């Protein structure tokens, strides 16, 4: 029987979602705790990857187990034994063909920039007090929506079949002392959001104009785009099936 698990996590102390040798990851901790409670090795498949230090307000994974589970009780027990950096929200049975990664219709990320010093946001935003032109950055977002190939924003030497993504939304919004970038797409490339943010900041600083942004996208060359902004300002916020 297949189960879908919904969770959230603070990525500060994790090397991302996916299991790695000699590194603490969310997937590793979740599987270890499921093994303790279910007395069987459990393999999970997540809805995607998050890099070291990236957070998730909503994340899904699936796993198989041979028995019918008391899922509310399992949620309760998991939250008792997992670290405070992980919150288990729900576990529910689902059809056996469900795939947490490939069945997702779209995902949404937010990147948070603190424009003023705030000690309570150090782990969850990138402090950057530089004044930027938000209107110009939103014009650049509209330009992004006219494209599908985002190889210039992808981490190099990534093993993917293609670099095409269907962007549905991309915009900046000022929320008090925070500057928040929201982006929604059917899929994302490795490091894509952080590279887009770094490039759009250069647009907001008027170091890159819209014509140059078009040229960067057309180049398909990562070195032409802006820097990759720090991971701790990035959140996976929604996954929809």
Instruction: Report yes or no: 65 and 40 within 8 Å, Cβ to Cβ.
Output: yes
Chain Cα centroid distance, residue 146: 22
Residues 6+ apart with CB under 8 A from 22: none
Q: What are phi and psi of 218, to 5 degrees?
A: -65, -30
Helix (H, G, I), strand (E, B) or coil at 164: strand
First to last CA, the chain: 19
Is 135 part of the annotated catalytic residue set?
A: no
User: Cβ–Cβ contacts within 10 Å for residue 185, how many?
Assistant: 22
Q: Active-site residue numbers?
A: 51
């Amino acid at each position: 029987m297949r189960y879908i698990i919904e969770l959230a996590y603070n990525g500060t102390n994790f090397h991302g979602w996916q299991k790695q040798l000699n590194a603490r990851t969310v997937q590793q901790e979740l599987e270890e705790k499921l093994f303790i409670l279910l007395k069987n090795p459990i393999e999970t498949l997540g809805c995607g990857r998050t890099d070291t230090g990236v957070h998730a307000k909503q994340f899904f994974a699936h796993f198989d187990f041979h028995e019918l589970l008391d899922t509310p009780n399992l949620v309760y027990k998991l939250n008792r034994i997992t670290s405070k950096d992980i919150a288990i929200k729900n576990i529910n049975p689902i059809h056996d063909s469900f795939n947490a990664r490939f069945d997702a219709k779209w995902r949404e990320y937010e990147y948070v920039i603190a424009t003023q010093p705030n000690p309570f946001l150090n782990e969850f935003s990138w402090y950057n007090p530089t004044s930027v032109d938000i209107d110009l950055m939103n014009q650049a977002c509209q330009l992004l929506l006219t494209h599908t190939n985002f190889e210039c924003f992808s981490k190099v030497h990534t093993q993917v079949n293609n670099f095409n993504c269907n962007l549905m939304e991309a915009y900046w919004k000022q929320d008090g002392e925070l500057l928040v970038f929201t982006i929604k797409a059917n899929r994302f490339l490795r490091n894509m959001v952080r590279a887009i943010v770094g490039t759009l900041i250069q647009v907001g600083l008027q170091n890159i104009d819209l014509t140059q942004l078009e040229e960067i996208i057309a180049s398909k060359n990562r070195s032409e785009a802006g820097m990759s902004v720090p991971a701790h300002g990035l959140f996976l916020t929604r996954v929809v099936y």
